[in-house]
């Protein structure tokens, strides 16, 4: 069973998003799509209504860091 993750686990979410979507440039993803991607990750237990722009920005930045490292 995957480790439980919540909105505040931006680093772990970034890693998982990079593994799931290796060809996607994170800064091209709309927040509505990013929200969907995050809530569908295995082990995600956060309340879908508890995200906000700041949280999504942090996740997107963490994902972009993983994306750049993978180049």
Sign of the torsion angle spanned by Cα atoms 64, 46, 51, 21: positive
Q: What is the pLDDT of residue 30?
A: 98
What's the mean pLDDT in 26-50?
97
The model's pTM is 0.95
CATH number at residue 25: 1.10.10.600
- Judge whether 57 lies within some domain: yes
- Judge whether 5 lies within some domain: no
Report the number of distinct structural domains present in the chain: 1
- Judge whether 32 lies within some domain: yes
Taking 70 as the threshold, does the pLDDT of residue 36 lie above it? yes
Domain interval for residue 56: 10-70
- Judge whether 3 lies within some domain: no
- Judge whether 21 lies within some domain: yes
- Judge whether 60 lies within some domain: yes
């Amino acid at each position: 069973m995957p480790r439980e993750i919540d909105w505040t686990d931006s680093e772990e979410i970034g890693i998982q998003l990079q593994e799931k979507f290796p060809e996607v440039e994170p800064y091209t993803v709309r927040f509505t799509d990013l929200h969907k991607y995050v809530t569908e990750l295995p082990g995600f237990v956060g309340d879908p209504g508890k995200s906000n722009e700041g949280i999504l920005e942090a996740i997107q930045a963490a994902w972009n860091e993983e994306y750049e490292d993978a180049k």
